Amino acid sequence: MTYSLLDSGDQYKLERFGQYVLSRPCAQAVWRPVLPSNIWKGADAHFTRDEGNRWSSSRSLPETWNVVLQGITFKVTPTDFGHIGIFPEHASQWTWMETRIQEAKNPQVLNLFAYTGGATLAAARAGAHCCHLDASRAAVAWARENAARNSLEQKPIRWIVEDVIKFLQREQRRGMHYDGIVLDPPSFGRGKQGEVFKIERDLQEILQLCRKLLSEKPLFVIFTSHTPGFTPLVMQYLLEQTLQGIGGKIESGEMTLPIHPDEKRSILPVPSGTFARWSGK
């Protein structure tokens, strides 16, 4: 039922999502695969962007099924964009975040562009009071399903469908503050009322609003991105400027897809986006 990266190469990645193996495009994987071609051909489903986005299956896949990642159960389903409902490369950020939450007492955590709720559920599990925000009503509903799958639906989580900038401005007017903030902005997106988000235009305002919403003694900020050109150094510069004068420590790097610890073969960790994160201590 768990996730693991099985192989990568020739601009594809081979992943196990529970009982099903999927092959999907991966532009970064320009090296040679480790596994023989018959293993790749035996995948349960293949996604391609050639001649339009499409899935092809060698066996009948259910519409949805469960996958466990970092001890959290997710509902997954193949989408028209090739996504299935989780981004496994974020799992290491959840672990880092949970450690800091467990050292505090009921901290307030804000998760922006929160998708299907991985960071929200990890934070709630660790003892945080959470605010989960996404502009997609469907994504928030999906996240709430995931909360129920993990018996976390009674945890103190606010579920918000809203444009990020409008929400942050309103929270500032209300005098709200958060001990931890997680944000994973897309390159482009639309709000629930058609608001257009462009990362190169809107990111600075979002980061400054986040700074204003931090509590007097904040715990952490986790900033991740899949936008081309947002290298670890770029991410670090952005966070350094945003949090200038606040102290603490910033580290940055590449996120990679997790490999199962029992895997003995020489599998290359696949770079899958970048991160910069700040901790108060």
Task: Say if residue 257 is in the same domain as residue 126.
Answer: yes
Using only C-alpha atoms, the chain has a radius of gyration, in whole angstroms, of 19
| pTM score of the predicted model | 0.93
Backbone dihedral angles phi then psi of residue 194, each to the nearest 5 degrees: 85, 5
My answer on whether 137 and 252 are in the same domain is: yes
What's the first-to-final CA gap in the chain, in angstroms?
Answer: 36
* pLDDT at residue 194, as a whole number: 65
Tell me which of 43, 76, 109 is where a domain ends.
76
Asked if residue 223 lies in contact with residue 275, where contact means CB atoms within 8 angstroms, the answer is yes
Q: What is the CATH number of the domain that holds 29?
A: 2.60.40.1180
Domain of 43 in residue numbering reads as: 3-76
* Average per-residue pLDDT for the chain: 92
- The verdict on residue 83 lying in a domain is no
Q: Is residue 9 part of a domain?
A: yes
- Residue 58's pLDDT is what? 75
Q: Which residues of 128-157 are buried (b: 16+ CB within 10 A; e: fewer)?
A: bbbbbbbbbeebbebbbbbbebbebeebeb
Task: For residue 82, tell me if it sits in a domain.
Answer: no
For residue 246, what pLDDT is reported?
93
- The Cα–Cα gap between 87 and 226 comes to 11
pLDDT tier at 81, thresholds 50, 70, 90: confident
Total domain count, the chain: 2
Distance CA 263, CA 259 (A): 7
Q: Are residues 214 and 268 in the same domain?
A: yes
CA distance 214 to 151: 29
Q: What is the pLDDT of residues 11-42, one digit of tens each?
A: 999 999 999 999 999 999 999 999 999 999 99
CB contact set of 211 (below 8 Å; sequence gap of 6+): 242, 243, 246
CATH number at residue 138: 3.40.50.150
No. of helices (H) and no. of strands (E), the chain: 7, 16
Same domain, 172 and 145: yes
Residues 193 and 228 grouped into a single domain: yes
Instruction: With respect to residue 265, please indicate whether it lies within any of the assigned structural domains.
Output: yes
- Residue type for 121, please? L
Range with the lowest mean pLDDT among 106-115, 214-223, 263-272? 263-272
Query: For the ranges 90-94, 198-202, 257-261, which has the lowest average pLDDT?
Result: 257-261
Render pLDDT for 176-205 as a digit per residue (tens, 0 to 9): 999 999 999 988 666 666 666 678 888 999
Residues 147 and 225 in one domain: yes
Assigned domain for 81 exists: no
For residues 228, 232, 238, 244, the Cα torsion angle rounded to the nearest 10 degrees is: 180
Over range 162-178, report the average pLDDT.
96
Q: In terms of domains, do 229 and 129 share one?
A: yes
CA 60 – CA 111 distance, rounded (Å) = 35
Q: Are 6 and 22 in contact (CB under 8 A)?
A: no
Domain end (from 76, 103, 118): 76
Residue 178 carries which DSSP code? B
pLDDT value of position 189: 66
Per-state percent for the chain, helix, strand, coil, to nearest 5:
30, 30, 40
Q: What pLDDT score does 264 carry?
A: 56
pLDDT at 263 over 70: no
- The residue-averaged pLDDT of 68-88 equals 93
- Do residue 8 and residue 107 come from a single domain? no
Supply the pLDDT for residue 51.
73
Asked which of 22, 45, 76 is the last residue of a domain, the reply is 76
pLDDT for 261: 66
